[in-house]
Chains A and B, each alone.
Chain A
Amino acid sequence: MADDKSNAAAYWKANIRLITGCLIVWALVSYGFAILLRPMLSGIPVGGTDLGFWFAQQGSILTFIGIIFFYAWKMNRLDKKFGLEE
C-alpha cells in the first residue's frame, strides 16, 4: 500500500512537472512572443510584417496544437510507466 502511494505520488509529481513545462511554452508563444515581447522581435521579418504578428495570428495556434499532442503522448507513456493506465 505504501508503495502504491509513493508510486502514485511520483506519477502526480511527474504530471505536474510536465504541465508546468507545457504551460510555460503556452504562455511564452501567446503572452510572450505575440504580445509583450513583440517589440523585441520586430526586427525579424515574416511575409511583410514581423514575427510577433505571425505568432499572434498563426504561430500560437500551431504551437497550442503541438503542446496538446505532446502532452497526450507523454502522459500516455507516464500512465504505462507507473502502471496507472486504464
Chain B
Amino acid sequence: MSQFAINLLFVGASFALYIGIAIWAKAGSTKDFYVAGGGVHPITNGMAIGADWMSAASFISMAGLIAAGGYANSTFLMGWTGGYVLLATLLAPYLRKFGKFTVPEFIGDRFYSKPARLVAVVCLIVASVTYVIGQMAGAGVAFSRFLEVDATMGLIIAAVVVFVYAVLGGMKGITYTQVAQYIVLIIAYTIPAVFISLELTGNPLPPLGLFSTHSESGVPMLAKLNEVVTALGFNQYTADVDNKLNMVLFTLSLMIGTAGLPHVIIRFFTVPKVADARWSAGWALVFIGLLYLTAPAVASMARLNLVTTIYPDMAGQVENYEEAATNPIAYAERPDWIRTWEETGLITFEDKNNDGNIQLYNGAADFSERGWEGNELEVNNDILVLANPEIANLPGWVIGLIAAGGLAAALSTAAGLLLAISSAISHDLIKGAINPNITEKGELLAARISMSLAIVVATYLGANPPGFAAQVVALAFGIAAASLFPALMMGIFSKRVNNKGAVAGMLTGLTFTLVYIFVYKGWFFIPGTNNLPDTADNWILGISPLSIGAVGALINFAVAYAVSSATEEPPQEIQDLVDSVRYPKGAGGAIGH
C-alpha cells in the first residue's frame, strides 16, 4: 500500500468516526447545544478539555519551538499548563455554580451592565477568531502535506467535517468528538516519541529518556546535546536566560491568558456539579500533561537527531567536538526525509560555499576558518513533529497516524473556538441584546446559523490569513489575560467591584495591552506602522510585547478597585449573586432576575 493510501485510510477513518459520533450526539435543545446537556463526566470532560486545549500549535509547533530555544522556551510548557491551576482554584467551580451558558453572560450579570457584557463579547470574538484562523490554516497544511491536495481544498474538507458535527451536535457533538480526537492525537504524538526515545536512550518513556544517558556516546542526553550544539556556534541547550523579568512575565501572561480563554472555560459548564468542575481541571491537566511531558523529550531528541544526521561524526563517542563538527554529509547523500520535506519548502538548502556539503550551524557565528560562508540548511520548526516518524525510520502507518493526529488537534480546538464564538453571537448578542423574547427553538436555530457563519468566516480567513493571524500568542492570550481573566476573578472574589469599576478596568487593561503590542508590532498589525522596532533593546524594562498581558491584567485589577472604591457599592442582589457562586449549595439565595 502506498504512503498516500495509508494516510488516506487513517485520516478517512478518523473523520468517519467523528461524523458517526455527530449523528449519535445530535443536540435537541439549547442546553445540549451550549453545554452538552450539562451531564458530562469529569474524566470525559478532562479528555475533551485536553483536545480542546491542545491545538495545532501544541501538536505541531511547540516541540519545534523548544528544540530551537531550549531552556528559554520552557515558558510555553509552564505557561500553557499552569493556567489550569488558576482555572481550578479561581474560576471554574464558581462559574459552573453560576450555571449559565457563556462567559460574557457571567460578566454581564455580575456587573449588572450591558456594556460590560458587550466588551466581553468583543474580547471573546477577537481572541477566538485570531485563534481559530491558525487551526484552520494548520489543518490545510496537514492536508496538503499528507494527502497531496491543495491547501485550500484541504481546508474546505476540514471545514465540512467540523460543520457536520459542530452544527448538528453543538457542544454535545463537540464533546464526544473531542474525546475521540484526544485519543487519536495522543497516540499519534507518543508512538514516534517512544521509538525515538528507545533508539537514543534505550528508555521507552520519553520524559525519562530526556534525563537519561545517550546510548551511543554514554554521556547524558542533555549534556551530549549541549556539546553538539555549542560546537556549531549555538547557545547551550540548557543555558540560563539573562532577562528573567521577561521570562516570568511571559509565563504569567500565558498562564493568565489560558485561564481567561472562553473556549476553555465553557467546557467546565458541561459537568453536573461544582465538585466535578474541580476534578475536570485535574483530569484535563493529566491528559494535557501526557503530551506536554513528551514534547520536551521530542524537542531535544529531534534536535540531536537532526544535527547528528548532518554531522555523523558527532553521533557516537567524540574526542574532539570541534573537529567532529567540521565534517558534514554531502547534499547528494542526504536522507530521504530531507528530500520529502524539501518539496514542501519547509526545508531549504543553499550551497553557499559551493562545496557540495551541508553546513548546518548558527548563521550568526563566524566559522570562516572552516571555509563556511553561512548556514546552508534552513529547517522550519514546525516539521520536527511531523517528520519525526520519517527521521526515526518508522513504518508508514505511523506517518498516517501523525497526519490524523495533527488534524485531530487542529479540528478539536477549532470546534471549541467556533462554539465559543457562535454562543456569544446567538446567546449574548441575539438573545441577550437584540431579541430577548426569542423562543428556545428560535435560539437553537440562531445558534446553528451563527455556527455555520463562523465556520465560513474561519475557513475564508484560514485560506487568506490576515496579518494578525500569526499573532495568536500576543493577541489571544494578551486579550484574555488583560481583560477577561481579571473581570471574572474580581466578579467572584470581590463583592465591592461594581459595574463602573469592571468596565473601566477591562477597557484600560485591554487598551494598554493592545497599544504596547501595536507600538512594536504595527498598528492593527499592519506592517511598517510600528513606532519602535520589535527588538529587546527597545522594549520598556526588557518586557516583550508578548509578555505584556500580565502587566495589562495588573492594571485592570488596580483600575477596577480604584474606580469601584470611589463609586457606590453594588446592589444587594448582586452581592447575593456573588455569595451564590461561592457556595456549591445555594446558600446565597436566589439569583436576582
- What residues make up the interface of A, taking CB atoms closer than 8 Å to B? 4, 8, 11-12, 15, 19, 22-23, 26, 30-31, 34-36, 38-39, 42, 46-50, 52-54, 56-58, 60-62, 64-65, 67-69, 71-72, 75-76, 79, 83-86
Q: Which of B78, B211, B279, B292 contacts A47 (CB 8 A)?
A: B211
B248 touches A31 (CB 8 A): yes
| Contacting residues, chain A, for B248 (C-beta < 8 A) | 31, 35-36
Q: Answer yes or no: B545 CB below 8 A from chain A CBs.
A: no
Q: Which residue of B lies closest to A47 (CB)?
A: B211
Contact A61-B77, Cβ < 8 Å, known A30-B251, A71-B88, A85-B584:
yes
| Contacting residues, chain A, for B285 (C-beta < 8 A) | 61, 64-65, 68
Measured in the bound complex, the distance between the Cα atoms of B209 and A47 in whole Å is: 9
B221 touches A76 (CB 8 A): no
Binds A, one of B79-87, B384-392, B467-475, B528-536: B79-87
Q: Which residue of A lies closest to B42 (CB)?
A: A72
Measured in the bound complex, the distance between the Cα atoms of B195 and A68 in whole Å is: 31
Q: Which 6 A-B pairs have the closest CB atoms?
A: A48-B220, A47-B211, A56-B74, A72-B278, A48-B223, A48-B222
Contact A61-B74, Cβ < 8 Å, known A23-B89, A67-B85, A75-B275:
no
A-B contact list, 17 entries, CB within 8 Å: A8-B582, A22-B89, A23-B85, A34-B74, A36-B244, A36-B248, A47-B221, A48-B220, A56-B71, A57-B66, A57-B74, A57-B296, A61-B289, A68-B89, A76-B275, A79-B275, A84-B587
Q: Answer yes or no: B60 CB below 8 A from chain A CBs.
A: no
- Shortest beta-carbon distance from B577 to chain A in Å: 14
Contact A64-B585, Cβ < 8 Å, known A47-B212, A71-B89, A79-B275:
no
Contact A35-B77, Cβ < 8 Å, known A47-B212, A58-B210:
no
5 A-B pairs besides A8-B588, A22-B89, A65-B282 with CB distance below 8 A are A8-B587, A47-B210, A48-B220, A50-B238, A57-B66
- What residues make up the interface of B, taking CB atoms closer than 8 Å to A? 66, 71, 74, 77-78, 81-82, 84-85, 88-90, 93, 207, 210-212, 219-224, 238, 240, 244, 247-248, 251-252, 273-275, 278-279, 281-282, 285-286, 289, 292-293, 296, 579, 582-585, 587-588
Q: Which of A4, A22, A58, A86 contacts B85 (CB 8 A)?
A: A22
Measured in the bound complex, the distance between the Cα atoms of B90 and A22 in whole Å is: 11
Q: Which residue of B lies closest to A69 (CB)?
A: B282
